[in-house]
Chains A and B, each alone.
Chain A
Amino acid sequence: MKRIANTIRDIKEYPSALIGLSIIMILIAVSIFAVIYMPYHRAIALWKGADNIWMDNPRNASPAWVNLLPGINIPETIVVDSAGQPGIKTITPIAAETKTVDFRLGFDYTYGEFPKEINIFFTAQYEEIPPHLDLIWHTPDGRSISLDSQTPKHSSTYRVSQSSRLQRRTGGLTPHIGLLAKPGSKPEVPLQGKYELEIQGLTFEEAADFEVKLVVYGHVHGLAGTDHLRRDLLVALLWGTPIALAFSLVAAVGTTIFGLIFAAIGVWYGGWLDGLVQRLTELTMILPALPIYIMVGLFVSRSIWVILLTVILLSLFSGSKIYRAMFLQIKEAHYIEAARAYGAGDFRIILRYLIPRIIPTLIPGFVTAIPIFVFLEASLALLGVGDPVLPTWGKVLSEAQANGALHMGHYYWVLQPAVLLLITGLAFAAFGFALDRIFNPRLRGL
């Protein structure tokens, strides 16, 4: 207890350690938050992105906080949905079972830039005959432009931006520009004010009904932006934290503990066992780790846990050369002889007398080893053997790279995971180096 207290007191004298430690604390807090706020299965499902759950998000949108910078007003996504507004529909029966259903979806457009895209989503309930809809676009200056008529299936999408018929009617401009452009402006600027989408519907069945959702996509989204599949990057950045920490921590513990135990066993029993441990250590020293990870990723499984197991298996004996040198010295300590004299068995001596003696010396190295494994996960993802389902920082980077994020100017896509990786690495490194300075002067007389 005293020791821990002393260590903490010493840490206070190293500002870099304090900063490192605070960042580590924050990362841990974020991890806990991520796991509670977005349980594992939900995170996986979101990242898989089935059932069009991301359809209301723009593609490749930058983080929304850029709008907080002064003088910047980049369009955000506008969603207007009839489903949430009971009573806006005017329903008039005109014949047996046939009714007209009219309503308008309005929104204010205040941005100086055009939206990224416009989609209109329909959901309709009917038995046999789908409703028929005429869509009219009303601009703030009183013009009306008819959009393409729709006969929506139970659920369907009208991709306004991709309609070439509409493009002819908007003066050859891409529809989401043409619909919002100030008449006569060159280059086009958006006309600000209240727009309305008028829906004139006809339903042909007693119980038939439909809902319309207009989505005017912005250029920014959420805290972290979106990727090419409209997925919110926050999912991956948030969930990447616990995964990175867990992976690297387990890897660091696994690689240290086993090397330690094997070295201790070799030294304590000596003879052929020591020889065996040493030969295996030399063998693992010459094995090329990265190609083996890649092969495991390609031929066995890309699961992060399989890779983790490979990392640990490959390093079962790593480090035991250094540990061996330390143990050889400690083995001769008189307190070990005393322990034998009061009847301590081999395993008790290895676990309680040999290993605890060198653990303090290992802690700094252990902490500095953590970023190696954080980066390893990212590197493997970049090399195409990242976990197929988990949202990780490395996955974000590799998808950004695969989709030419930097060529297309989507810097946020690369920078956010990269900065997180760097910060994590630096935090553990700063903390580890400070621990080294604190622990090692005292243990020089080992």
Chain B
Amino acid sequence: MQNNVLLEVNNLKTYFEMKKWGFVSIGHVRAVDNVSFNLKQGEALSVVGESGCGKTTLARTILGLYRPTSGDIVYDGKSINEFSKGEIKAYRAQLGYVQQDPYGALPPFMDVRRILAEPLIINGVKSRQEQEKLIERALTDLKMTPVEDFLPKFPHMLSGGQQQRIVIARAKILGPKLIVSDEPVSMLDASVRIEILQLMRQLQEEYDLAVIYITHDLSTVRYFSERILVMYGGKIVEQGPVQEFLDNPSHPYTQALLEATSDPDPKNAETFKKVPGGEPPSLLNPPPGCRFHPRCSYMIEGLCNREEPPDFIIKENHSAACWLYR
């Protein structure tokens, strides 16, 4: 099973229509624009990019919360475009979702027991005993013991790290094969970030989970994943195995990112945002050609600002969308 493809994303586009005065269309925000990648069973994949580049939109589209504008997502051999409304619901329940803000992700009026029971009840785990068993296992997996201490707690009684562990417990309680976690630690204290990431890594290995780990913080990627995917302006600009990627960053944007985060201290993670000079591209009116060209020091006049670069293979499994490698 190890090398089976679990998730296949083909030419995925998710656009948001922008309207003026509520009805006049003024164009589309191309939040995810022609993204393709594969994810194998049990594989951890990091998606990196600055804020606003479409990471969350990509996550939500994969989770079936947004319908793609075009393109296709194939999960376990089935295309989600062909799903009916009911099947979409069932599909969503097969994936786990870990959100950025743990407090916001937990209903404040439910206690931990109820929060963890909800996905079970919704997905047909009717027996009380069965529910208790699964809840206990999920909490134990996240080192929230003794379990009884946490069950009656409401979210506001828990620390940020504990809240996020509940969110993770909820994401995996139905036994998904894939968990999408969208900047799971960016809102937590630096002190608990590594701990949470290590826990997730442990779970991923123990249960052979596929994980899409979205972050804008390159420094945490090394703790986590085998493969990395860099997004810029709604597109994937580079993808490859982590080690290869760190040794041989190819896209000028990636190089700039890595320079900024050569220091593994997570506190410096915030600094990288500023490093490549200039503004992130508008997704409503993206620049022609390569979207990075207005900020790129290697820009080739007449090519980069005219034609969109295809993916060029750098090495096996490592590609970059940059004309430098034509």
Contact = CB atoms under 8 A, between A and B. Distances in A.
A286 interface: no
Given A335-B104, A348-B122, A357 B93 contact: no
Given A348-B122, A353-B107, A357-B107, A338 B97 contact: yes
B65 A343 contact: no
B264 interface: no
Contact of A343 (B99, B107, B119, B167): B119
A333 B107 CA distance: 9
A340 B65 contact: yes
B109 A357 contact: yes
Nearest to A348: B122
Interface string B90-101: 101101010111
Contacts of A334: 99-101, 104-105
Given A333-B104, A334-B99, A343 B93 contact: yes
B106 A335 contact: yes
Interface in B128-175: 152, 154, 167, 170, 174
A426 B122 CA distance: 44
B123 interface: yes
Contacts of A341: 63, 65, 92, 95, 97
Contacts of A352: 118
A142 interface: no
Given A334-B101, A337-B65, A342 B123 contact: yes
A356 B119 CA distance: 17
A335 B92 contact: no
B92 A338 contact: no
A136 interface: no
Contacts of A356: 107, 109
Contacts of B99: 334, 337-338
B89 interface: yes
A363 to B, nearest CB: 13
B288 interface: no
Contacts of A339: 107, 118
B89 A343 contact: yes
Interface residues of A, number: 21
A357 B155 CA distance: 14
Contacts of A2: 152, 154
B108 interface: yes
B111 to A, nearest CB: 9
A339 B104 CA distance: 12
A335 B167 CA distance: 10
Contacts of B122: 342-345, 348
Contacts of B109: 356-357, 360
A404 B105 CA distance: 65
A356 B63 CA distance: 26
A147 B74 CA distance: 109
Contacts of A353: 107
A2 B92 CA distance: 33
A283 B105 CA distance: 37
Contacts of B89: 343, 345
A342 B93 contact: yes
Interface SS, A side? helix
Interface string A313-336: 000000000000000000001110
Nearest to A359: B109
A372 B106 CA distance: 37
Contacts of B101: 334
Interface in A350-372: 352-353, 356-357, 360
Interface string B70-95: 00000000000000000001101101
Contacts of A344: 118, 122
A340 B104 contact: no
A334 B104 CA distance: 5
Contacts of B100: 334
Interface in B275-314: none
A353 to B, nearest CB: 6
Given A2-B152, A334-B99, A340 B108 contact: no
Contact of A340 (B90, B92, B174): B92
Q: Which of A2, A3, A340, A357 has the most CB of B within 10 A?
A: A340
A345 B92 CA distance: 11
Nearest to A3: B154
Contacts of A348: 122
Interface in A238-274: none
A343 B90 CA distance: 6
B201 to A, nearest CB: 22
Interface string B195-229: 00000000000000000000000000000000000
Contacts of B104: 333-335
Q: Which of A337, A342, A353 has the most CB of B within 10 A?
A: A342
A1 B65 CA distance: 34
A201 B122 CA distance: 87
B92 A342 contact: yes
Nearest to A343: B93
Q: Which of A341, A344, A353 has the most CB of B within 10 A?
A: A341
A344 B106 CA distance: 14
A360 B107 CA distance: 14
A342 B90 CA distance: 8
Per CB-CB distance, the 10 closest pairs between chain A and chain B, nearest first, are A343-B93, A342-B119, A334-B104, A341-B97, A335-B107, A334-B105, A343-B89, A356-B109, A343-B122, A338-B105
Given A334-B101, A342-B92, 8 more contacts: A2-B154, A3-B154, A333-B104, A335-B105, A343-B89, A356-B109, A357-B108, A357-B109
30 contacts: A333-B104, A334-B101, A334-B105, A335-B104, A335-B105, A335-B106, A335-B108, A337-B65, A337-B99, A338-B106, A338-B170, A341-B63, A342-B92, A342-B93, A342-B118, A342-B119, A342-B122, A342-B174, A343-B89, A343-B90, A343-B92, A343-B93, A343-B119, A343-B123, A344-B118, A344-B122, A345-B89, A345-B122, A356-B109, A357-B108
